A and B are shown apart, each in its own frame.
Chain A
Amino acid sequence: MGEALDALFAARGAKASQVPIILPAEPYLDTAGEALRRRIFLTRGEGGQNLCLRPDFTVPVCMRHIAEGADLPRRYSYRGLVFRQRAGGPAEFFQAGIEDLGEENRATSDARSLADALASLAACGVDPAGLDVILGDQGLFEAVLRALGLPEGWQRRLIRTFGHDGQLRAALARLAEGPEDALSGIEPQLVDLARDREEGALTRLVRDLMEEAGLPPHSGRSPGEIANRLIEKVQVAEARLGEGALELLQNFLALECPLDEAGDRLAAVTGTAGLDLGRAMTAFMTRNLALEAANVDLAGITYRAAFGRPIDYYTGLVFEVRETGAEEPLAGGGRYDRLMTILGAPAPIPAVGFSLWLDRIEAMARSTGKPA
């Protein structure tokens, strides 16, 4: 199975990258957040630095690319053990995948990533008839929020929860509350100043509070930043979300259909309200064309509008492939255009990739298909 994948990756123009097993932990904690800490194997080097057993390949592959400053676009492949603490199942397992860096034509590279993931499963002997493929697009969600004219503070708050159904529902419910709830706990005098956009007065007031507390003036949030956010918050709290807007947003989030019908269904939900999703819609449709050009059957893919990942460096396409009815994915991928700058790239680099859970794939191929 490994050799079949290596051959496929090479044929698809991806260069195999070698990554050490023991890696600095900081980049992981910094990108994926503290929730990862419980799930990785951490240790401390003699000099006190945090080290971990490789929990995934994406971060080190991207970091090495940045360090070497290689030309773009470029595709990297990997295959090897990763280590994560899990309640059930073994703590070490094999993953393989491709990271596609620097391709400015996002429709093409998105389509290539999903097509390569499906081709990889086929190369491993998995019967495509037994698979569920699900696809989401954060770009469309963001476009709907923009087109509805939601205040930016609300947009950011909703985008943060995108991909986590329960939290998104809770955030929507809170946004429908009255301003009294949203502004409780803030001194009325400050609310008045914010309502009048008295930025200077608020800034001075906050600066005094910071000095009184002995907070360092040049680290962390500044008085101006705090004053501005209070002004924005009062504005946001007092601009109510109309009934129609909330309903439309909920209708959009409830969309789930075969990908080849998604264009029409999206148009039906947003078009009646006269919303124009602009470039996000064009990008979505262009990607579908690119998928068809890559011989991917759109009817076999489910588009779910609410499907995403609540991690801040994911920006657009996300997809997962499962054995029909199974809980755990066999493959997962997506676009992470914000990761490269977080990891230290001097300028943004478009990036999309996927990874395969080889142990699960092998188990499925053995039980249903013919292992390659």
Chain B
Amino acid sequence: MTITLAIPSKGRLMEKSLAVLKEAGIAVSAGATRSYRTKVEGFDGLEVLLLSASEIARELRDGAIDFGITGEDLIRETIPDADVAAGIVARLGFGHADVVVAVPKAWVDVASMDDLGDVAGSFRARHGRRLRIATKYWRLTQGFFSRTHGIQSYRIVESLGATEGAPAAGSADIIVDITSTGSTLTANRLKVLSDGVILKSEACLAVSEARQREADDARLAAALSARFGA
């Protein structure tokens, strides 16, 4: 008779997560040491784990935890058909960031996704290869380019860090990345396309629909959701 909630294990995301739990009457004391266990008061039968934000999205997908607090960007990137496989219980009002399509400022002719579609469409004829997009958001990028905008001719270059540096490094032409203030993009002489916001993300409390729950646990899960107004 326990349900599990995973929250980010470090930094501001962890502090803010602890704060919203506290507002909901759940006091979680995380050990100051590098322990991933916590002590929970104010909600019997709730176990709170500390995990990395991306791991939380994977565990939600796999049904290895009942609830998780993580970024919507990671939820939508990690979980196929995220609307079905993971319910967003509440948007928590912190961790705001946008997943955006950004191109070099020097591309003065490209202001919209339509422009980018034109450029991508003739890229091979001009350069002997497809337009390259550096990103760690494979799923979001494909959905936005292929399904929303009908752009098929591009290649994704996997980027595991410093995506914004890919155009200058010559490893990609443009990027899809997360940005909160836009200052990193500006510093790298990149601009966001007018209709290039793929997702306005923030930290969310999400429930795993893949998780099998006994009746007792299902009641606990409903009670936790209710604390967050859902």
Contacts and interface: CB of A to CB of B under 8 A. Distances in A.
A20 B8 CA distance: 46
A311 interface: yes
Given A215-B167, A310-B152, A185 B119 contact: no
B154 interface: yes
Interface string B47-62: 0000000000000000
A213 B106 contact: yes
A37 interface: yes
Q: Is the interface of B mostly helix, strand, loop or mixed?
A: mixed
A253 interface: no
A349 B192 CA distance: 40
Given A34-B145, A167-B150, A184-B194, A226 B108 contact: yes
Nearest to B121: A160
A213 B188 contact: yes
Contact of A226 (B106, B141, B154, B194): B106
Contacts of B139: 38
A223 B109 CA distance: 11
A92 interface: no
**Size category of the binding interface on chain A:** 35 or more
A186 B124 contact: no
A188 to B, nearest CB: 12
A91 B141 CA distance: 24
B189 A213 contact: yes
A214 B108 contact: no
Contacts, number: 115
B34 interface: no
Q: Is the interface of A mostly helix, strand, loop or mixed?
A: helix
Interface string B94-132: 000000000011111101101101110110101100100
A186 B115 CA distance: 12
B115 A233 contact: yes
A312 B155 CA distance: 14
Contacts of B229: none
Interface in B125-147: 126-127, 130, 138-139, 141-142, 145-147
Interface in A324-372: 342
B173 interface: yes
A157 interface: yes
A342 B118 contact: no
A212 B189 contact: yes
B137 to A, nearest CB: 12
A205 B108 contact: yes
A186 B109 contact: yes
Contacts of A167: 149-150
26 contacts: A29-B155, A34-B142, A35-B142, A35-B146, A38-B142, A174-B114, A184-B111, A185-B112, A186-B108, A186-B111, A187-B108, A209-B104, A212-B106, A213-B105, A213-B106, A215-B167, A216-B170, A220-B127, A220-B167, A221-B173, A223-B106, A225-B126, A226-B106, A229-B109, A233-B115, A310-B150
7 nearest interchain CB pairs? A185-B111, A213-B189, A209-B106, A230-B109, A33-B152, A35-B146, A167-B150
Interface of B: 104-109, 111-112, 114-115, 117-119, 121-122, 124, 126-127, 130, 138-139, 141-142, 145-147, 149-150, 152-156, 167-168, 170, 173, 188-190, 194
Interface of A: 29-30, 32-35, 37-38, 153, 156-157, 160-161, 164, 167, 171, 174, 184-187, 190, 202, 205-206, 209-210, 212-216, 219-221, 223, 225-227, 229-230, 233, 310-312, 342
